[in-house]
Chain A
Amino acid sequence: DTGVSQDPRHKITKRGQNVTFRCDPISEHNRLYWYRQTLGQGPEFLTYFQNEAQLEKSRLLSDRFSAERPKGSFSTLEIQRTEQGDSAMYLCASSSHREQYFGPGTRLTVT
């Protein structure tokens, strides 16, 4: 399967802990996006990379959130000092031209 992959698929953590998610895009795609989706809402943009450069960050991305894409391949999204409000599905997408293709998501539950 050559689609976008994400790991882990599910994460349960206690409030105050740090978590890190990984996204592996489709191999020839140079753009990578992170979105967050809560129940009953569409995905909300968090940040995106073109190759290794982080080109835009949403104001939703507080200073507890950081994303990296070393070498322009896979990306990681870290959340420090998690809060219950961080509970959501974190989706990664990649594109080479216009259409964005999504991974299966990481569902985060903060207890």
Chain B
Amino acid sequence: EDKVVQSPLSLVVHEGDTVTLNCSYEVTNFRSLLWYKQEKKAPTFLFMLTSSGIEKKSGRLSSILDKKELFSILNITATQTGDSAIYLCAVEAQWGNKLVFGAGTILRVKS
């Protein structure tokens, strides 16, 4: 059965800190890994990763995939209180098909 595990489950940091969120997976036919940010409503798309070793970057957020070791990390630098959210990792096991999500990492950034 396809499985996605995120760590840590929750994290509290101060504004300006850098955080690293982890996602490991076991799937039968890996196609892509996606990161989402969820505040009090719908998950919003951050990144899609398909190739190992290629960093995707958007502002203070960046992510990279290691297909050999079956994990991905999401980095957030110079954190702000607006970064407080649940960060979800999901894996697409077939083209255009369902996503298998991890339980998420709850990030709280204190001012």
- A: residues with CB less than 8 A from B are 4, 31, 33, 35, 40-45, 48, 50, 56, 58, 91, 95, 97-105
Minimal Cβ-Cβ distance residue in B for A103: B42
Interface string of B80-111 (1 = CB under 8 A from A): 00000000101010011111111110000000
- B: residues with CB less than 8 A from A are 4, 32, 34, 36, 41-45, 48, 88, 90, 92, 95-104
Find chain A residues with CB under 8 A from B43 CB. Answer: 43, 91, 102
Find chain B residues with CB under 8 A from A56 CB. Answer: 97-98
B41, A45: Cβ atoms closer than 8 Å: no
A99, B98: Cβ atoms closer than 8 Å: no
Find chain A residues with CB under 8 A from B95 CB. Answer: 98
- Give how many A-B residue pairs fall within 8 Å (CB-CB): 55
CB-CB under 8 A for A105 and B42, given A42-B90, A43-B101, A98-B96: yes
Give Cα distance in the complex from A105 to B36, angstroms: 15
A33, B48: Cβ atoms closer than 8 Å: no
B98, A48: Cβ atoms closer than 8 Å: yes
Find chain A residues with CB under 8 A from B98 CB. Answer: 33, 45, 48, 56, 58
A102, B42: Cβ atoms closer than 8 Å: yes
Minimal Cβ-Cβ distance residue in B for A107: B41
Measured CB to CB, the closest approach of chain B to A40, in angstroms, equals: 7
